[in-house]
């Protein structure tokens, strides 16, 4: 098995990031320092066993991706605890200050996972499936786990901002004191953004492969270039192959489009919930026998849920506008890439036709 220097660098950086995440987990949980050596040792053992028994690049990268996903799940579970404390009680204790280094390491680990999933050409895959995998975008599960980490980190960051002064509390309380709908909205927003950014990265990588095809081939993209060669070598199957790629392109947008639809719907659910709670409060005031002395405080408590109604809608619609903009830009870029790919393949067939 031959590993070119980009693959070796990916292996080294990914292992270093796994070790950093383990160290930060131990520090956050206030465990003995020596326990930070256990996850890297287990990861090194898993990589060594994969290298010894399977001895394929794809198996090695698959093992790395599995280890990265396990690390992300562990961090997500740890971050979910203080984030839920902020949502339910309004404070996370001393958790938030210890989270930032691990938060940065996790973002780098997700980027490393995305890079490895892209450069892992998949020797076992057919040429057409290899290209279709790039169009399909990043892993849905790993993106969801990273989105949960981003959402929890944002909640903890907003809590820290709220402690800094009363000027920013008017903003932070709209996210932290309006129930679970704003955090769920942020979770969907980050999930959609990660999927779209991952698709944008895959498109950029495929565009580089296409630009260097038959002009400046590089070892690390040789399998993708071979996939293009295989498509151009079968004129009769080219139309069918492009139809499959376009179909995979359409299928890959199902989850991002659903997220873009669900984000504003959550805002409207928050509106209905807030108005319903306010209506119940006003109904109780009308039905009660309390005097005018307590009317002011009772009325204030009754209309307080209207803040949920308006703030959740404001947050959801604002995030939806940004998410829809990114979706439109990435979708347009990917459609142009597919059109360019089809044109290049047809030009290659046209150039080869006179020689046949």
Percent of the chain with pLDDT over 90: 10
Q: What DSSP line would sit under 164-222, residue for residue?
A: H-TTTHHHHHHHHSS-SHHHHHHHHHHHHHHHHHHHHHHHHHHHHHHHHTTTS--GGGH
Contacts of residue 243, Cβ cutoff 8 Å, sequence gap at least 6: none
Q: Is the pLDDT of residue 190 over 90?
A: yes
| Contact in structure between 183 and 317 (CB atoms under 8 Å) | no
pLDDT classification of 322: cutoffs 50, 70, 90 = very high
Q: What DSSP line would sit under 73-131, residue for residue?
A: HHHHHHHHHHHHHHHHHS--TTSGGGTHHHHHHHHHHHHHHHHHHHH---TTS-HHHHH
Q: Is the pLDDT of residue 185 over 80?
A: yes
Structure-token pair, residue 318: 């604002």
More confident: 23 or 321: 321
More confident: 214 or 265: 265
Dihedral, CA of residue 168, residue 169, residue 170 and residue 176, to nearest 10: 120
Q: Is the pLDDT of residue 327 over 90?
A: yes
Q: What is the pLDDT of residues 144-161, one digit of tens each?
A: 988 998 888 888 777 777
Listed residue (326, 189, 334, 194) closest to 250, CA to CA: 334
Listed residue (287, 282, 272) closest to 304, CA to CA: 282
Q: Is the pLDDT of residue 311 over 90?
A: no
Alpha helices for 213-305 (secondary structure H): 222-232, 235-251, 254-287, 295-303
Instruction: Let me know the angle formed at the C-alpha of 179 by 177 and 181, rounded to the nearest 5 degrees.
Output: 120
What's residue 328's pLDDT?
Answer: 93
**For residue 348, what is the DSSP state?**
H
- In angstroms, the CA 308 to CA 266 distance is 12
Number of other residues whose CB lies within 10 A of the CB of residue 112 = 21
- In angstroms, the CA 98 to CA 51 distance is 36
Contacts of residue 17, Cβ cutoff 8 Å, sequence gap at least 6: 68, 105, 108, 109, 112
What's residue 356's pLDDT?
Answer: 47
Tell me the domain boundaries of the chain.
5-273+296-351
Listed residue (43, 50, 102) closest to 72, CA to CA: 102
Helix (H) or strand (E) holding 41: helix 38-53
């Amino acid at each position: 098995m031959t590993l070119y220097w980009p693959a070796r660098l990916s292996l080294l950086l990914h292992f270093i990031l796994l070790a950093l995440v383990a160290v930060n987990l131990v520090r956050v949980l206030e465990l003995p320092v020596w326990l930070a050596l256990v996850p890297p040792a287990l990861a090194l053992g898993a990589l060594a066993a994969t290298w010894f028994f399977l001895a394929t690049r794809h198996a090695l990268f698959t093992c790395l991706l599995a280890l990265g996903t396990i690390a992300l799940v562990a961090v997500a579970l740890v971050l979910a605890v203080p984030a839920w404390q902020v949502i339910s009680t309004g404070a996370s204790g001393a958790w938030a200050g210890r989270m930032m280094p691990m938060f940065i390491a996790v973002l780098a680990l997700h980027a490393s996972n995305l890079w490895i999933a892209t450069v892992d050409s998949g020797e076992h895959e057919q040429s057409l499936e290899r290209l279709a995998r790039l169009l399909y975008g990043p892993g849905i599960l790993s993106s969801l786990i990273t989105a949960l980490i981003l959402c929890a980190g944002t909640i903890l960051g907003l809590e820290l901002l709220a402690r800094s002064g009363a000027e920013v509390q008017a903003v932070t309380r709209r996210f932290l004191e309006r129930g679970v709908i704003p955090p769920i909205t942020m979770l969907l927003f980050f999930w959609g953004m990660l999927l779209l950014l991952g698709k944008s990265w895959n498109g950029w990588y495929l565009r580089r492969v296409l630009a260097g095809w038959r002009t400046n081939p590089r070892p690390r993209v040789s399998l993708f270039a071979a996939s293009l060669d295989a498509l151009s070598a079968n004129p009769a199957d080219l139309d069918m192959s492009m139809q499959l790629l376009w179909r995979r392109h359409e299928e890959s947008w199902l989850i991002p489009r659903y997220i873009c639809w669900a984000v504003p719907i959550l805002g409207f659910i928050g509106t209905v919930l807030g108005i319903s709670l306010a209506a119940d409060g006003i109904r109780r005031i009308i039905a009660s026998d309390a005097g005018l002395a307590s009317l002011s405080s009772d009325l204030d408590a009754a209309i307080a849920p209207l803040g949920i109604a308006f703030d959740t809608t404001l947050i959801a619609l604002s995030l939806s506008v940004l998410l829809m903009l990114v979706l439109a830009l990435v979708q347009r870029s990917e459609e142009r890439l597919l059109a360019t790919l089809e044109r290049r393949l047809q030009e290659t067939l046209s150039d080869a036709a006179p020689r046949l």
